[in-house]
Amino acid sequence: MKISSPEWHIEPISTGLIQAERITSVLCEVQTPFQHVMIIDGECFGRSLILDGKTQSTELDEFVYHEGLVHPAMVSHRNPKNVLIVGGGEGATAREVLKYRDVEEVTMVDIDQKLVEVCQKFLPNHHMNAFKDPRLKIDFADALNFVDSLKKQYDVIIIDVPDPLEYGPAYRLFTLEFFLLLKNRMKLDGILVIQAGATGPSFSEQCFTAVANTLSQTFTICRGYEIFVPSFGSTWGFVTASEKIDPSTNTVANIDSALKTLSLDG
């Protein structure tokens, strides 16, 4: 649902609740073959990516979301070499993965080439030149078909796509069919993480619970967690899935040790 005015970005958060930000400038507005894309400068959150009327990331707090998405899985793996990113068009997810100097190859697949091109141009503070890293390979394709055709397996798989709105480009990427494909493309000691939407009493039934339940039909170990993202107006949920790795067993000492071992930049 898109609600807007010439001077404000107004976004429904939940029933009876909206969030509004004054727009200082619209840098880009385009309809791609897959979605409506806006990049704005806002008075509160700074430069922001908005897809189909929903805020995806903002200059003020994108690091909260992207660090929360990437690092629990990467640190829990202990030795990630090959990483698959599904979505992540603004390049910030790749940016966080590429901080690990021992990562050898990152494959990013996104259906919307125009979106990625727009983000490369207008969101430099999001991607921080990650697109120029020689370890990153980008494929523009339908993710389900792409994963189905893959022959290799990955240490870490990160799903960073918009919420599964019916008929939206990401809808099929939250299904049991896709999760089964991903399991076959993940090493036995690998781990997957997916953004799973807003959490809390008025949100969790919309997406988070469904994602967690579907993943639990596919993987032995599934763990959910949440963080607060101010620009989303809500806590936000993520789910990890694996056959061998349980992030909930991590201790502060283990995490500190892993971060030193993993040669993390930034």
- Using the predicted structure, report yes or no on whether residue 96 has a pLDDT greater than 70: yes
Same domain, 48 and 98: no
Q: Is residue 230 part of a domain?
A: yes
Q: Is residue 186 part of a domain?
A: yes
Work out the average pLDDT over 50-74: 96
- Domain ends where: 41, 58, 75? 58
The CATH number that applies at residue 17 is 2.30.140.10
Work out the average pLDDT over 108-131: 97
Same domain, 86 and 39: no
Work out the average pLDDT over 173-189: 95
* Number of structural domains in the chain: 2
Q: Is residue 182 part of a domain?
A: yes
The Cα–Cα gap between 259 and 229 comes to: 24
Same domain, 113 and 12: no
Strands (E), the chain: 3-4, 8-14, 17-31, 36-42, 46-51, 54-58, 82-87, 105-110, 136-140, 154-160, 186-198, 221-229, 234-242
Same domain, 110 and 152: yes
Same domain, 185 and 216: yes
Q: Is residue 139 part of a domain?
A: yes
- Using the predicted structure, report yes or no on whether residue 21 has a pLDDT greater than 50: yes
Work out the average pLDDT over 206-225: 93
Same domain, 44 and 148: no
| Residue 180 vs residue 255, higher pLDDT | 180
Same domain, 108 and 72: yes
Q: What angle (nearest 5°) sits at the alpha carbon of residue 162, between those of residues 61 and 22?
A: 45
- Residues that are catalytic: 160
The CATH number that applies at residue 69 is 3.40.50.150
Same domain, 94 and 9: no
Same domain, 123 and 66: yes
Same domain, 125 and 191: yes
Q: Is residue 266 part of a domain?
A: no
Work out the average pLDDT over 171-175: 85
3-state secondary structure of 114: helix
Same domain, 38 and 85: no
- Using the predicted structure, report yes or no on whether residue 107 has a pLDDT greater than 90: yes
Domain that holds residue 67: 62-261
Q: pTM of the full predicted structure?
A: 0.93
Same domain, 39 and 71: no
